[in-house]
Structure 1
Amino acid sequence: MPLQTGQYKNSPFLPARNDRKDDNKLKINCNLAVPDQGFLLKPHSMYLTGFESLLAIINSLTHTECDQVARRFELKSNHKTENRLYLLFSFIQKNVDADDERIFNLWRRKIKNDITVNAYEKAKSQLKQFILETLRFINVPGHDAYLLERLDFANILIARGLFTEAFKILQLTEKDALEFTDPLYACIINYKMIQFLPHVPEKDRPANVHELMHETGNIVGQLKIYHEIFSFNLDVAMFARQTSFIQNKKQQQQINNLLQHPVAALKINTLPYVAKCTLLKSLSWLYRIAGDAGTAHRYQKELVHVFSEKEKYNMQYRPAQYLAEWADLINISIKNNFIADANDVLKKYQDICKQYHITDAHTQLIIYNYNITIQLQANNNVIDKTIVDVQWKIINTAHQQIQTGHLLTFILTVMKGFLAIKEYKKLHDAYILILKSAPAERFDVVFAAELIYTLALYEQSHMNNSLQIVELNNHFVKQAESLYRRMH
């Protein structure tokens, strides 16, 4: 039975569609993802409206994309509306710093028409839609969404009984999948070809048809393994919520049961990149809590190697996610108490950011945050004062631009740093900032900040005079009561 058009858009084997990024040339600024050519919306313009949204989309276009938009306008040059829209597109391109009113006046004078504001708003909406539709037709062979569009096109041909034509499309798509992306895409495409191979006339079948048929079992096996890995990582996540170390024989047996199948999966050469990474993370964590630090360390080293191998591909097609994976790996190393590894991974993270000129405030805060954490853990709360001061300076400068969850983490870490270097005045300022920034439901962060601040007051009372102990006690009791009320 032929599969329906669009089936692969939400396939369990593939990342969500809005995670597929691409750009003909690497372009990274702040912590925004690279523009998405595969579907309609640019991720960083999704939350903007009107002129801002249109401006964000046009500014994110590469030279290739701009050429494609211009070429499509040329094809419709006999339409008056498209000519007007092209003029609007050109004005926004050439006047990137201009505001909405200036663009409106330039456009109105150029077309020599007493156009209304409502007509201008409609033109902006039409131009935005025109650009977004054009992006769908830009073919980039290595792009995930391009492969999926080809799969959808093949499904349309299959549904209409055009098996030979669909088979040729899939053959070309499989070639691109093997050359540019993870083998899983090639597996799915290959399996798809085998599904309707009997419908293809014998003269149009490939010479290696027997190899394709023989490979069917391997493909099905890999897809099954992928499901097993997904299930395994889900089990590990659930187990992680219950314990951080082995407490009894039942938990030891749970770990032994979890480890039966996934270790064998690592021996598959064509195991997809994402599956392999999540599998290695889970194995490292499980062996650590089981008390086998050597094996846990070995899997973590292998994970670093897998990350490094895919650097060029990931920084071109999914830079934001790739950097987040490295940051997560630093965090895992710290939690596993692999301090030397944490330092090595942090250095690699810094090298990647330097190589690709990623210097936004968020990335710098991540680097300093892990620097402080590693130093505190490795040196028994002895830390370089300069690192803490720089982190605090960046937070003060850019705290309004940082997502709240990340900001709270950064402030808590800098509070620990100030406590270690005995900068009580700055610690108090950081404490006030966290109270202002934390939403009502984040009482856990507020409580952590309270504990650090209380320790600071305690240290000060010993350094100055014992009368401050009374103040400390009153303050802590008051905050504990407040926290209790929030929790209940």
Structure 2
Amino acid sequence: MPNRSSDALFQLIKSLEKSEKRNFKLYIKRNSGSEDLKSIQLFDAMDKMDEYDEAQLLNKNKNLRKQQLSNAKAYLYREILSSLRLIRQEENIDIQLHEQLDFARILYNKGLYLQSLRTLDKIKENARAHNQETFLLQVLFFEKTIEGLHITRSMQDRADQLATEVNVVNDHLLLISRLSNLSLELYSWYIRNGVARNEKDEAAVQEFFERNLPADLSQCQGFYAQLYLFQSFCWYTFIRQDFLLYYRYTQKWVDLFEKEPFMLPIETSHYIKGMHNLLGAHFDLLNDQKFEETLKQFEAFSESDIVRNNVNNRIQTFVYLYISKLNQHFIYGTFTEGLSLVPYIEEKLKEYWIYLDRHRILVFYYKIACLYFGSGDYGKTIDYLNKIINWRVDLRTDLQCYSRLLHLIAHYELANFGLLEYLTKSVYRFMAKMENLSLVEEEIFRFLRKSFNLKPGQLKPEFAKLLEKLKTYEKNRFETRAFVYLDIISWLESKMEDVPVQDVIRQKYLGGKRRG
């Protein structure tokens, strides 16, 4: 995957669709000044680049000196955004409200105070209808300015009414801010650390959650207050690995959009993330029937105009849809069949490399590695795990840890015994340093160290002993993550039965044993 360019203009140009590029050129050609002609040349030169190269850019634009480049790029950046604003204003309620607020300001500057106030009334009505309370507050402050500076006689008791409205909106926005902060900080905790690894982690998360949660949850009314409340509970229950409650709150999250469908085009990203978490909850609980239903619903949504006509929505939907498609093969035990998804995923990761955060890329690598492991291709498993292991460790320490553990087991399957003793010590040290060793992992390491000295005929009894020990941990909440990231039980059963691991998982699925 190529390195990300940090040049903002290059990223913006590369994000444009053909229709947007055509619209930009029509927009800028309306002014035929030399500055605009240079901008088109600069635009075309950057559009043709695969990666941003300033030396190449200057070489191909001889009329542009290095000292002028910074200003030329800044001008072009503004012009592109201006052209996009013109064609996208009908799609976003916030852009529409900004435009109406601009009109109210223009009327006020013309001294047409009553017309300005009538425009502000319409904005308030529109903002309330779409739950846009931050705009509502801006409008109220503008109204207070007009009423405080001019005798409009627009209404009796206007001052009291405006003061009451501002107080109500302020209180509600403060509540939304508290809940959104709580949701964001819990999500950030998960991205950095993964799930709670022990009682100490759980106690810390619980203390933070309870300290920041509003005392009276009945106050949490309105779309955004409920959205951030459900998200906060979603992250909290997931970190604690309480998958049943996690499912209930992700369902509440998605149901919000069923109750207020007009919010779907406004907060599409939140809906996409909610569907991702709902699918994740069904996966964790092995609710295969509900998983299938939700996946079909999400796939149908991916074909809607809301997704097709918005780059961000397309990218986010691709990420979460294909993570779920991979998860579906893990549920079914159809690992080899799932490998057919890998070329398309790789193609899209390359296409979207500018936009994707590293966390999502790492998740894809790990799930693809698991596909290859389940299908018995341990060499490919190691290739994808190396992509994660060689990445700088700064997030998702749990993913780093389980990548190393699966990497170790893949080498064990390949009988790379010359490497195994070194790798076992290395992985053990890494996971211990991360304070990430669970009881399940301790047992796995103990088995691996012991197995180096065993003859082939002695392995099966040891596999049986390890399997028996690990099954006692399946109901332990703090051990759950080991079985979610790595189906070690099925792997051990495959070793006992001398069959591929995907066959074991497939038989469990067909026998209904994996259904929640």
Q: Which of the five TM-score ranges fits, normalised by the shorter chain?
A: 0.5 to 0.7
Rounded Cα–Cα distance in structure 2 between residues aligned with 1:150 and 1:201: 23
1:279, distance to aligned residue in structure 2 (A): 0.9
2:359 is aligned with 1:405: yes
Rounded Cα–Cα distance in structure 2 between residues aligned with 1:116 and 1:288: 57
1:91, distance to aligned residue in structure 2 (A): 7.4
CA contact (8 A) 2:28 2:79 kept: yes
Rounded Cα–Cα distance in structure 2 between residues aligned with 1:172 and 1:351: 36
Distance 1:287 1:84, change over 3 A: closer
Number of the residue aligned with 2:219: 265
CA contact (8 A) 2:23 2:83 kept: no
1:452, distance to aligned residue in structure 2 (A): 0.7
Rounded Cα–Cα distance in structure 2 between residues aligned with 1:478 and 1:276: 46
CA contact (8 A) 1:458 1:472 kept: yes
CA contact (8 A) 2:230 2:250 kept: yes
CA contact (8 A) 2:282 2:288 kept: yes
Number of the residue aligned with 1:425: 379
Number of the residue aligned with 1:47: 7
CA RMSD in angstroms comes to 5.6
Rounded Cα–Cα distance in structure 1 between residues aligned with 2:6 and 2:144: 38
1:264, distance to aligned residue in structure 2 (A): 0.8
Normalised by the length of structure 1, the TM-score is 0.60
2:325 is aligned with 1:371: yes
Distance 1:62 1:352, change over 3 A: farther
2:120 is aligned with 1:170: yes
CA contact (8 A) 2:183 2:229 kept: yes
Rounded Cα–Cα distance in structure 1 between residues aligned with 2:324 and 2:77: 43
Number of the residue aligned with 2:343: 393
Normalised by the length of structure 2, the TM-score is 0.58
Number of the residue aligned with 2:173: 223
Taking the TM superposition and a 5 Å limit, the aligned residue runs for 1:76-475 are 82-85=32-35, 116-118=63-65, 125=73, 128=76, 131-132=79-80, 134-135=82-83, 138=86, 140=89, 142-145=92-95, 147-148=97-98, 151=101, 167-178=117-128, 181-185=130-134, 187-189=136-138, 191-192=140-141, 195-196=144-145, 197-205=147-155, 215-216=165-166, 218-230=168-180, 232-233=182-183, 243=196, 261=215, 263-266=217-220, 268=221, 271-273=222-224, 275-284=225-234, 297-308=247-258, 314-315=264-265, 322-331=271-280, 334=283, 341-355=290-304, 356-357=307-308, 364=318, 366-376=320-330, 378=331, 382-387=333-338, 389-394=339-344, 397=347, 400=350, 402=353, 403=356, 404-435=358-389, 438-439=391-392, 445-459=399-413, 461=415, 472-475=420-423
CA contact (8 A) 2:183 2:228 kept: yes
Rounded Cα–Cα distance in structure 1 between residues aligned with 2:97 and 2:298: 30
Deviations for 1:197-248, whole angstroms, at most 9, x for unmatched residues?
A: 3544244449999876664554344234324434654686699879579899
Amino acid aligned to 1:131: E
Amino acid aligned to 1:330: L
**Partner of 1:219: helix, strand, or coil?**
helix
Distance 1:395 1:484, change over 3 A: farther
Identity %: 13
Number of the residue aligned with 1:61: 20
Distance 1:150 1:62, change over 3 A: farther
CA contact (8 A) 1:191 1:219 kept: no
Compare 151-160 and 414-423 and name the one that shifted more. 151-160
Amino acid aligned to 2:425: V
**Length, aligned pairs only:** 410
Which segments of 5 or more consecutive residues in structure 1 lack a partner in the other structure? 1-43, 74-81, 109-114, 462-467
Rounded Cα–Cα distance in structure 1 between residues aligned with 2:112 and 2:419: 82
CA contact (8 A) 1:194 1:216 kept: no
Rounded Cα–Cα distance in structure 2 between residues aligned with 1:45 and 1:473: 40
Deviations for 1:398-451, whole angstroms, at most 9, x for unmatched residues?
A: 655544432222121122222223222332332344445x23657765542221
CA contact (8 A) 2:186 2:232 kept: yes
Rounded Cα–Cα distance in structure 2 between residues aligned with 1:444 and 1:239: 12
Amino acid aligned to 1:303: W
CA contact (8 A) 1:281 1:300 kept: yes
Rounded Cα–Cα distance in structure 2 between residues aligned with 1:291 and 1:98: 48
Which segments of 5 or more consecutive residues in structure 2 lack a partner in the other structure? 436-516
Distance 1:88 1:140, change over 3 A: same
